[in-house]
């Protein structure tokens, strides 16, 4: 499994990481791999920080 969260980070810019401000949004992706290393399932969720 691989869990990743991707944010647009509008307030922080490219130099700041792991900083979320009010009303930021991000996407969480969950990838489930099979024994052969290929993705078998992918789940996506929108996360709103408000």
Q: Counting beta carbons within 10 angstroms of the beta carbon of residue 12, is it exposed (0 to 12), middle (13 to 18) or buried (19 or more)?
A: middle
- pLDDT per residue, tens digit, the chain (50 aa), is 999 988 766 655 555 555 556 667 888 999 999 999 999 999 999 988 77
For the chain, the distance separating the N- and C-terminal CA atoms, rounded to the nearest angstrom, is 28
Q: Taking a C-beta distance cutoff of 8 angstroms, is the pair 11, 21 a contact?
A: yes
Domain boundaries, given as residue ranges, for the chain: 1-8+23-50
Cα–Cα distance, 40 to 42 (Å, whole number): 7
* Pairing mode, strands 2-7 and 24-33: antiparallel
* pTM exceeds 0.75, yes or no: no
């Amino acid at each position: 499994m691989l869990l990743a969260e991707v944010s647009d980070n509008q307030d922080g810019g490219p130099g700041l990481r792991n900083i979320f401000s009010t009303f930021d949004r991000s996407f969480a992706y969950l990838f489930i791999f099979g024994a052969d290393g290929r993705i078998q399932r992918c789940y996506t969720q929108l996360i709103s920080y408000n």
